[in-house]
Amino acid sequence: MATETPRSLLAAALCATGRKVHSINPMAVARYRERYSSSGKKSDRADAMVLVNILRTDAHVHRPLPADLELVRSMRCWPAPART
């Protein structure tokens, strides 16, 4: 999976399931988008296709996000502070 936003709930949830999540720099995505579309028009569908193609052709260049440390995983089950 590829995303432009490494600090999102979706990326965290996918990492927690053991999937590889790659964070791609937004400027790099913009440059790749220019290769596939001359109009410069953005859409979610087009961005998804660009991210898929980035991983398909250049996955070796982009590092997956690291897995959370055991300490971070253990903190997830702490109760939320009481609201006042």
For the chain, report the end-to-end CA distance as a whole number of angstroms. Answer: 39
pTM value surpassing 0.75: no
Judge whether 65 and 72 are in contact, CB under 8 Å. no
Helix orientation angle between 26-36 and 44-58, rounded to the nearest 10 degrees:
100
Q: How many domains does the chain have?
A: 1
SS3 state of residue 77: coil
Q: Answer for the pair 58, 25: CB distance below 8 angstroms, yes or no.
A: no
Position 83 in a domain: no
In a domain, 51, yes or no: yes
Q: Looking at the domain assignment, is residue 9 inside a domain?
A: yes
pLDDT in tens, 31-77: 888 887 766 677 888 888 888 899 999 888 888 887 765 655 565 66
The span from the CA of 21 to the CA of 43, in Å, is 21
Tell me whether residue 55 is in a domain.
Answer: yes
